[in-house]
Chain A
Amino acid sequence: MPFQGARRDMSEMKTHYVGARVSRVDAHDKVTGNAVYGVDVDLPGMLYGAVLRSPLPHARITEIDVSGAMKAPGVRAVVTGKDFPFTFGGAVKDQPFLAIDRVRYIGEPVAAVAAETEVAAQEAVEKIRVRYDELPSIFDPREAVKEGAPLIHPDMEHYRRAAHDIVPGTNICTIRTYRLGDVEAGFAEADEIFDDAFSTHAVSHACIEPHAGVAQYIPSKGSYTLWSSTDRPYLLVRELSEALGIPSDHIRYIVPYVGGSFGGKNTLIAEAVAVALARFTKGRPVKVVFSREEELTATQVRVGAFMRLKTGVKRDGTFTARRAEIVWDSGAYVSNTQGVAIRGAYTIFGPYRIPNLELSSRLV
């Protein structure tokens, strides 16, 4: 659409609130406990979900026996990846709602139970028996990036994905390179060359409110309603629609107050389990709330990275060239790291005038 500059004329506007230290409009609700967050959502007929998680970092699932859980008191549904074999992901649809044929991290959801109470669901989960065949694991992206490393996603090039570069036959799920000018010429011109390696580590977003979602499936319409504290409901509607192959007007996302997100509530986490369970509970809503242990071990993190910066400078402190190489640790699934590996990479050069630069950013 044509860019409208006229609306920006604010010079005639008298501002009364803009620029003022106004109290937050949500302060009263939050301080009095009236605020409803994702964890507080409570609906009639609601069931509670619990998750069975993989104890192994990389393994094939050879057998799942849910009979014990199905007989447990209060249980209304038991679901595995075979019952709900869908994958999602913003950039790459590599992540299953529930593990399908293999697990790729300790804590990956393998099965889920919906029951009348949280306790009943947890107890039923413990009755599920799974057999695994371990596969070789890699824990360091610098190892994963090497030739011959075991492949976490051998079929990566066949996944539905956005058109960003991957390197088939490897664990590199995003590669972004960029050049400006000629760095070698720049280094040749420099008085001093600096070459340093840095690394940052993965950290938890550590939101006060854990991941929480309630999902309801309406069998007569084949539609889902979700109540979840996320920071991007429309984007998740699209993700769910693409993952499940249903039209986006069949998905409704309602967002209560979010108890902190910090980039950690931007994909289907608790919702993935809630949706998979809700599909089988004949219209009863299912609530899934993660414990702090699950928060810390089985959700997203702010990813860590290994970086190398080579810089050429003149004696007077001006830059001639900079080369940056980054290897980002995506973990078992791409999730929302692709954007970070692309746009986060650009700013490694800093807000400085540098005439020649070269970037290689790989997400592993």
Chain B
Amino acid sequence: MDIIAQKLGIDPLEIRLKNAYVEGDRYINGQVLHGVGLKETLKRSSREIGWGEVKQPASTTKRRGKGIAVILKGTLTPTNSSCLIKMNQEADVTVICTTPETGGGQKTVLSQIAADAIGVPMSSVSVTQPDTSITPYNDAVGSSRTTFHMGNVVLMAGQQVRKKILNMAGEILKTDPGRLNLFEGKILEEGVGERMTLKALLIQKFGPGGMDILAEAHFNPADSPLLAANPGLKGLDARMSSIFWMFATHAAEVEVDIETGVVKVLKVAAAHDVGHAINPTACEQQIEGSVIMGLSNTLFEEFKMEKGRILNDSLADYKLATMLDMPQIVPIIVEAQHKEGPFGAKGIGEPAAAGTAPAIASAIFDAVGLRIKDLPITPEKVLAALKAKEGKD
């Protein structure tokens, strides 16, 4: 996009805004797009990086530049998720599901959704360890699918638990369950206030024995009208739709040392359309971690190969970014609510890993006029390109 913008004399931000998908546009297979926060991500991240601001005067050896890049990612569709929710007589809730905690905060997000779906304190919710002999089927943690798919089944199962509880309460309190609500483990009646605690209800209903409330839910988006695409598509062509699309824009500011070729990333503004942030801090952390990974891949990481042998087979030589390389990272949450996601949520797992490379590459062009089109962007490459450019100019 940047190459095109430059040749046509159009601002790189403007050319993207001009062509960017909006709600209702069709994807390459004809799927009508829903939940499209792309333009807002373009505007907010470019504003945060100071797009269009007058450039700082260059020093003798350092040049600064800014670049933006846009990310599009779908999720493997359709996939399957299930869960069971068990509430014991002490009102402890166990979400029984097969969702490995890989560090993305899966357990936390599912606990939040379960607590709100049922109406209990989050501290009373726990999520089981995956064990395929016990926990029900879930495809995978991957493809940024957990919040949406597992979130939906936890929401559905939680709502069932809530309904069972309010029906029991209606019976015991001799009230219409429609007038009752469960919030933070307390049963509330419309216009009256707290009637009883959930624990008291369970003891009254089940006696001293020990009983559980159980609920189950399954979800597969295959029949969603959102997936409809061009008619007549066959085979893989018929399976290109995604139940939700994630959009993002990364804006980077870099400083290139023209004597050493070293590129220092000063700032990355990463705006992501997540649908709805179930846990804003967790979203921001996922964005930050992904930007770091992207930066590391772009500037430092490289397998040095010789006839199929990897020569740099230790972390001393396979260079990863460290704390010393960190730019200022500003994660920005944009919410284009998705009508079929839990509380409007979509996903955030993967997209941010993709945007930093092109944003840095474009920022380098803005700084020193070099178009580097292969990764990684090492100081050697930058220096060689600078020399070649000098030779030509």
Contacts and interface: CB of A to CB of B under 8 A. Distances in A.
Interface of A: 1-3, 5, 7-8, 10, 13-26, 57-58, 105-106, 137, 139, 164, 176, 178, 180, 192, 194, 196-204, 206, 229-235, 237, 251-263, 265-266, 292-293, 296-297, 301-302, 304, 311, 313, 315-319, 339, 342-343, 346-347, 349-354, 357
Contacts of A21: 279-281
A11 to B, nearest CB: 10
A176 B245 CA distance: 21
Interface in B304-334: 305, 307-310, 312-315, 318, 320
B373 A199 contact: yes
A69 B122 CA distance: 54
Given A200-B375, A204-B318, A232-B141, A194 B4 contact: yes
Interface of B: 1, 3-5, 7-8, 10, 14-16, 18-21, 25, 28-29, 38, 70, 72-74, 76, 98, 100-103, 105, 107-108, 111-113, 115-117, 122, 126-127, 129-133, 137-142, 152, 155-156, 159, 181, 183-184, 218, 220-221, 223-225, 236-237, 240, 245, 247, 276-282, 293, 296-297, 301-303, 305, 307-310, 312-315, 318, 320, 339-340, 342-344, 353, 357, 373-376
Contacts of A263: 142
16 contacts: A13-B343, A17-B115, A20-B112, A25-B111, A178-B28, A196-B373, A201-B375, A206-B315, A232-B140, A232-B142, A254-B132, A257-B101, A266-B140, A317-B14, A339-B76, A346-B28
A113 B375 CA distance: 39
B393 to A, nearest CB: 21
B72 A351 contact: yes
Contacts of B140: 231-232, 234-235, 266
Contacts of B112: 17-18, 20, 22
Contact of A234 (B38, B139, B278): B139
A234 to B, nearest CB: 6
Contact of A253 (B101, B117, B131, B139): B131
Given A19-B277, A22-B108, A137 B307 contact: yes
B155 A347 contact: no
B113 A18 contact: yes
A105 B303 CA distance: 15
B240 A346 contact: yes
Contact of B236 (A10, A25, A164, A349): A164
What 7 A-B pairs have minimum CB-CB distances, sorted nearest first? A57-B308, A232-B140, A17-B112, A351-B72, A352-B19, A3-B223, A255-B130
Given A17-B112, A21-B280, A351-B38, 18 more contacts: A1-B218, A10-B342, A16-B115, A25-B127, A26-B107, A26-B108, A106-B308, A199-B375, A204-B318, A232-B139, A234-B139, A237-B132, A254-B129, A258-B102, A346-B28, A346-B74, A350-B72, A351-B247
A256 B130 CA distance: 8
Given A266-B140, A317-B5, A15 B343 contact: yes
Contacts of A315: 8
Contacts of A339: 76
A25 B131 CA distance: 19
A321 B37 CA distance: 24
Contact of A10 (B25, B225, B302, B343): B343
B310 A297 contact: yes
Nearest to A331: B308
B313 A297 contact: yes
A161 to B, nearest CB: 14
A105 B183 contact: no
Given A24-B105, A231-B140, A262 B293 contact: yes
A206 B100 contact: no
Contacts of B296: 206
Contact of B280 (A16, A19, A180, A206): A19
Given A234-B138, A262-B293, A229 B236 contact: no
A112 B224 CA distance: 48
A212 to B, nearest CB: 13
B132 A251 contact: yes
A137 B28 contact: no
B222 to A, nearest CB: 8
B81 to A, nearest CB: 11
A104 B163 CA distance: 57
A302 B76 CA distance: 18
B308 A198 contact: no
A106 B183 contact: no
Contacts of A257: 101
B42 to A, nearest CB: 10
B375 A317 contact: no
Given A234-B98, A255-B130, A258-B101, A137 B308 contact: yes
